[in-house]
Amino acid sequence: MVTFVDTVTLHLRAGRGGNGCVSVHREKFKPLGGPDGGKGGDGGDIILVADPQVTTLLSYHHSPHRTGGNGGFGMGDHRSGYDGESLELPVPVGTVVKSVDGDVLHDMIVPGEKYVVAEGGRGGLGNAALASPKRKAPGFALLGTPGQECSVVLELKTVADVALVGYPSAGKSSLIAALSAARPKIADYPFTTLHPNLGVVQAGDSRYTVADVPGLIEGASEGKGLGLEFLRHVERCSALLHVLDCATLEPGRDPLSDLDVILAELGAYEVPEGQIPLLDRPQIVALNKVDVPEARELAEMVRPDIEARGFRVFEISTVAREGLRALSFALAELVDQHRAEVAVEVPRERVVIRPKGAKEEFSIRVEGGTYGNIYRVLGEKPVRWVQQTDFQNEEAVGYLGDRLERLGVETALFKAGAVAGATVMIGTGENSVVFDWEPSIASTAELMGSPRGTDIRIGGSNRRTTAERREQYHEMMDARAAARAELEEKRLASREDEE
């Protein structure tokens, strides 16, 4: 049996960026022509597309795991890798994209609009792009970063002008089939409709959409029957059409009691903030199945009571197509009135481009550990730089250290209380990197609190001053003169002994 699916959880992983290339240009008489490694390709994004031809999320219910294409590796001769293929996922118009925590990320109500739900990774730079006057021939390249991994919840809310509400088997599917070209499943048992059906109705110069949603029973606002699955699809409709069955054979049921139950459930349902409550929206009552003689008598009997409540009432028959034209024009009038009010109340949204202000590029979080404090570096740039570093290459590790120093990480670590040998972690989770911090000589020299011109990180200097070198030179020359004089005395003494 096909189940009604309008909420699914997608597990997404965008494509990984390709690694950069390490290459040196070589040709005849030019064995070392300089670095020419190309950049790796970017990973493919995962994009949601609002497609009017898609009406269900059932395909994502069966296969919720989706992956984007990986980028290609860079190549020599300045050749870049290919970009990974982006994955476009068509979803019905009216799909709300939420995080696992329930936060609304995007509302796809415009046909054809796109939303990048998972961004692909960046391709790594080749050694040609890393060359500089100080590093003329880099022996390393940057790695590609992994694509974004996330889980999102897709919740379908039907976008239509008019919603047909009523008990199961009240004739809603037959009515939408009679008013439009929609062909929903029609049968004589409850809950025949298991997913919303949309139909387009043309009434004179007015065109509007009608939604046939699963039937409503008592307690639907609490989740009974198809409960919330039904009421969720009524939220976006501007008008409601109550379809009442005048030929029901169930004991204890009549059009007035059915209407009371429907109104009670609509009133108990809480719509999202900013939307009009369901009972405050325009409503029309259709007394269906008047082609049956007993049903026509019952419709004529209850009509005055319903009109006394302020509802416009139409007696219709979907089999005999009686009263459908007048009902379609009445619905068109409500829809046109609502569209005119929306056009007046909601002005056209102005597109304002605001430059991004300066934001904190990283932060230091001190965490207590068994063997002392752990200093965790968090931020988009440091984490991305770690992901791009090949830790098997010493030159690449040195390049990472230079980047972190220029960003000011070492100064921030010193201010946070880190000392030489402290445990420092960059990032979180499995991709974090742990190392023992060894501050560079150039970092925070003015903050060390040592006397001017000295640095406590550098041991005592044994270098002689100019005066000390001059004194030691004179002492050495005097010692040499004394040694020569002593040798001369010994030589003269030995000559006198010979004579």
Q: For residues 324 and 322, what is the distance between their CA atoms, to the nearest angstrom?
A: 6
Whether residue 212 contacts residue 176, with contact meaning beta carbons closer than 8 Å, is answered with yes
Residues within the annotated binding site for GTP?
Answer: 166-173, 191-195, 212-215, 288-291, 317-319
- Alpha helices by DSSP H, listed for 15-77, are 58-62
Tokens of 321: 């197509």
Rounded to whole angstroms, the Cα distance separating 421 from 441 reads: 14
Binding residues for Mg(2+): 173, 193
Question: CA-CA distance, 166 to 283, in Å (whole number)?
Answer: 12
Kindly state the DSSP code that residue 486 receives in the 8-state scheme: H
CA 254 – CA 311 distance, rounded (Å):
17
Q: Residue 379's closest CA among 359, 403, 365, 362?
A: 362
Residue 78 Ramachandran class (φ > 0 left, ψ -120 to 50 alpha, else beta): left
**Which residues fall within 8 angstroms of residue 152, CB to CB, at 6 or more apart?**
9, 10, 12, 97, 98, 99, 100, 105, 117
In this structure, what DSSP letter does residue 463 have? P
CA 97 to chain centre: 9
Annotated binding-site positions = 166-173, 191-195, 212-215, 288-291, 317-319
| Termini Cα distance of the chain | 136
- The two tokens of residue 53 are 């031809």
| 313-338 per-residue burial string, b: 16 or more CB within 10 A, e: under 16 | bbbbbbeeebbbeebbebbbbbbbeb
Residues 6+ apart with CB under 8 A from 365: 375, 376, 378
Q: How would DSSP label each residue in 283-312?
A: EEEEEE-TTSHHHHHHHHHHHHHHHHTT-E
